[in-house]
Amino acid sequence: MGLNLNDKKAVVAEVSAKVATAQTIVVAEYRGIQVAHLTQLRAKARAQGVYLRVLKNTLARRSVEGTQFAALADSMTGPLIYSISDDAVAAAKVVADFAKTNDKLVITAGNYAGKQLDKAAVAALASIPSREVLISQLLGVMLAPVSGFARGLAALAAKKSEGAPAAEVAAEEAPAA
């Protein structure tokens, strides 16, 4: 059953609103994938905060028209599923991870911050750790000198206590009377 004009306008408006805040769009061909597998993909996308939708290509072209993703319109042919995310990596990661387990999902193109991506570039983008992981790695690097200094001080204190005369250690351990 086809969409009437008002429904098409509503779809374009909804997708345009998502595209306006998006950093990444990944386009993949889904020909031959079973409905149950697509449902799993949608659930994973929802959990990651990724907007995933099968759209008519003409409606998708109208949605990206005049945005930084306009160059992606040339890649919009065939049965495509569109993955749109505000997070730079999430859309690519969801689609690429699913494509590893299901060879019928074929990544055709992507666009990150206005730059056109091919299949290899989408895979490279998907291999970047998530924002939370990157922040924790950065904090680990920043804390390494401080924790090394603290370990050094603890080792120095332990070394000094080993070298102290036995009488001083015994005096420190004996209860005050």
pTM above 0.85, yes or no: no
Convert the pLDDT of each residue in 75-108 to its tens digit.
888 899 999 998 888 889 999 999 988 888 899 9
**What confidence score (pLDDT) does residue 176 get?**
54
Share of the chain above pLDDT 90, in %: 19
Class of domain 5-128: alpha beta
Q: Which of 110, 28, 124 minimizes the C-alpha distance to 71? A: 110
Bridge partners of residue 111, in order along the sequence: 25, 116
- Number of neighbours of residue 128 by Cβ within 10 angstroms: 13
Least confident of 2-6, 59-63, 140-144, 166-170: 166-170
Q: Give the mean pLDDT of 14-24.
A: 89
Per DSSP, 103 falls in state T
Whole-angstrom distance, CA of residue 144 vs CA of residue 23: 32
